[in-house]
Chains A and B, each alone.
Chain A
Amino acid sequence: NAGVTQTPKFRVLKTGQSMTLLCAQDMNHEYMYWYRQDPGMGLRLIHYSVGEGTTAKGEVPDGYNVSRLKKQNFLLGLESAAPSQTSVYFCASSSRTSGRSVETQYFGPGTRLLVL
């Protein structure tokens, strides 16, 4: 049981290039999330998904797109990278909640992205 995994671990892009970050979870979780973490700041939600085939915007969605074609995978895309997107990106997943119950999010190890 690997939990949440992310690829790649590190990437350098030039301004205007595109790339896709892959997140995979083997816990059969319904919900998946993409966050970015900048120095001295907490995590900010980019996009999230409540199930296969569904995605929704988070707090800072501009410049990113996501897809959830399979339940276990959640992809984050940068169509035209900008230096402001230099950050550490974390994926997380959690179980479906029921009623007013809330389930803990489990995080991957992160992807460090540098945009020059």
Chain B
Amino acid sequence: GESVGLHLPTLSVQEGDNSIINCAYSNSASDYFIWYKQESGKGPQFIIDIRSNMDKRQGQRVTVLLNKTVKHLSLQIAATQPGDSAVYFCAENVSFKAAGNKLTFGGGTRVLVKP
């Protein structure tokens, strides 16, 4: 079935370096994508989103890139900090036709920031 998945389950990065988290999706009808950050013991927290009519969107220290040709999504974190250590999830959505704003989540990538 349609799914969203991640290439790397764990990413170790040196503090100050840039991090890149990748995500593959298979539903070509998906038109909205979100990255969430989940710290230990907490709920997922919205980081940044992108719609399918865009290929890049920037936030504060984060950039999301969308390549619809190869159905690939990435999250780039600039100057990674210890507070960035968390599990990162990508999620996709197909604009609902009936009702509900349902997201399909990937399995998550753990980012470990080394001092």
Residues of A near any B CB (own CB < 8 A):
4, 31, 33, 40-45, 48, 50, 54, 56, 58, 90, 92, 94, 97, 100-110
Within 41-99 of B, Cβ neighbours of A (below 8 Å) are at 41-46, 49, 51, 89, 91, 93, 95-96, 99
Q: Which of B4, B9, B34, B105 has the most CB of A within 10 A?
A: B105
Knowing A56-B99, A102-B101, the reply to whether A40 touches B42 (Cβ < 8 A) is: no
B43–A107 touching, CB < 8 Å:
yes
Knowing A102-B32, A109-B42, the reply to whether A56 touches B100 (Cβ < 8 A) is: yes
B105–A50 touching, CB < 8 Å:
no
Number of interface residues of B (CB under 8 A): 28
B31–A100 touching, CB < 8 Å:
yes
Query: CA–CA, A110 to B101, complex, Å?
Result: 20
B46–A106 touching, CB < 8 Å:
yes
A107–B44 touching, CB < 8 Å:
yes
B43–A94 touching, CB < 8 Å:
no
- In the assembled complex, 23 residue pairs joining A and B whose CB atoms fall closer than 8 Å, in A order, are A31-B101, A40-B9, A41-B108, A42-B105, A42-B107, A42-B108, A43-B105, A50-B99, A56-B99, A58-B102, A90-B43, A90-B44, A97-B95, A102-B51, A102-B93, A102-B95, A104-B34, A105-B34, A107-B36, A107-B43, A108-B43, A109-B42, A109-B43
